[in-house]
Amino acid sequence: MKKVLNKSVLAMFFLCNCSSMHAQDIQDATMLEWLYGNAVGKVVGSIATSSSLWSKVVGVYAGSFLSKSSIKSFIEKYHVDMSDALIQDISKYKSLNDFFIRKLKPGARRFDQSDVLCSPADSRLLVIDNAFDSVEFPIKGTKVSIENMVADPYITTRFNGGTIFVFRLSPQDYHRFHMPLDGYLSAAKKLGTRYDSVSPTAYQMGKQPLEHNERHLIMGTTKQGPQFIIMPVGALSVGKIKELFEPDTFLKKGDEIGYFLFGGSTVVLIFPPKMLKVRADILDNSSKGIETVVRAGDRVADLN
């Protein structure tokens, strides 16, 4: 039986930096519905999502000079805002990947330096508070397990009942991610082998990319001692997750810690119970399965 998408969930997200909120269609939902719901699409999807081959092929093209001609059409298709880009002349980019990991002008993203948690990336945010194992995900009909995400029962025990932040990056977004608070990070531990889309459509079609996709588990420690988790997650057509930090060295809030090459992607943050208080509007939106648009540096929670 074909699974029907919950259009009310897929059709909207909130723009929290505007004076009023707007609805916007999530792009490419129809293609993903075909990929996961159509008989032929499932065959194509099994090749594209169960092996790194497809991502490697896309990565080779996106990193080559042949892809340079695609930059203009990419900007037009996804309405990419270039006003903050450090290099605005698209002829200066060597490839689509070079454009995709573009840097921004100094000061384009300002991180709140008070005792708050900041968004690590330009993204669409869902939050699960009081997250015990196999908790209901904000997208109807799906669940997410901390233990399956981190693949470590000991870590799971320490974070059960905590808060999960899911920052989903879309193609038009700035694809570098930053330190959300002051602290130290461990070396990344690679997990997972799949490359499913991280779009809400994929969850609606029964996929769980946070548990099965290639992802990097990074343990963080704040200046005060409590630990947290940063987990960048690869996705359909993503060739690489690249970390830029030195493990076990002090990092300031806002320091750049990595980037994603071409494709959609996600950054997950997990905090232990009672460590922070999430912004009320974000919790309210998330409870309805609605993503809140945030930019790197935006306050998303207050630290207790």
153-158: average pLDDT:
92
Annotated catalytic, 50?
Answer: no
- Active-site hit among 122, 173, 196, 298: 122
Query: Over 50: is that where the pLDDT of 17 sits?
Result: no
Res 44: pLDDT? 46
Distance CA 301, CA 76 (A): 34
In 10 A of CB 172, how many CB atoms?
15
- Active-site hit among 196, 265, 286, 298: 265
Annotated catalytic, 122?
Answer: yes
Taking alpha carbons only, the member of 189, 160, 179, 190 closest to residue 250 is 179
Mean pLDDT check: name the lowest of 17-26, 158-167, 193-202. Answer: 17-26
Domain range annotation of the chain: 9-304
Instruction: Kindly report the pTM of this predicted structure.
Output: 0.83
Mean pLDDT check: name the lowest of 117-131, 200-214, 241-255, 286-300. Answer: 200-214
221-248: average pLDDT:
87
Tell me what percent of the residues of the chain surpass a pLDDT of 90: 55
Which of the four pLDDT bands, split at 50, 70 and 90, describes residue 163?
A: very high
Query: Over 60: is that where the pLDDT of 47 sits?
Result: no
- Active-site hit among 95, 123, 178, 237: 178
Distance CA 297, CA 304 (A): 19
Tokens of 89: 């002349």
Q: How many residues does the chain have?
A: 304
Taking alpha carbons only, the member of 178, 156, 160 closest to residue 169 is 178
Which of the four pLDDT bands, split at 50, 70 and 90, describes residue 249?
A: very high
Annotated catalytic, 64?
Answer: no
| Mean pLDDT, rounded, of the chain | 81
Res 9: pLDDT? 38
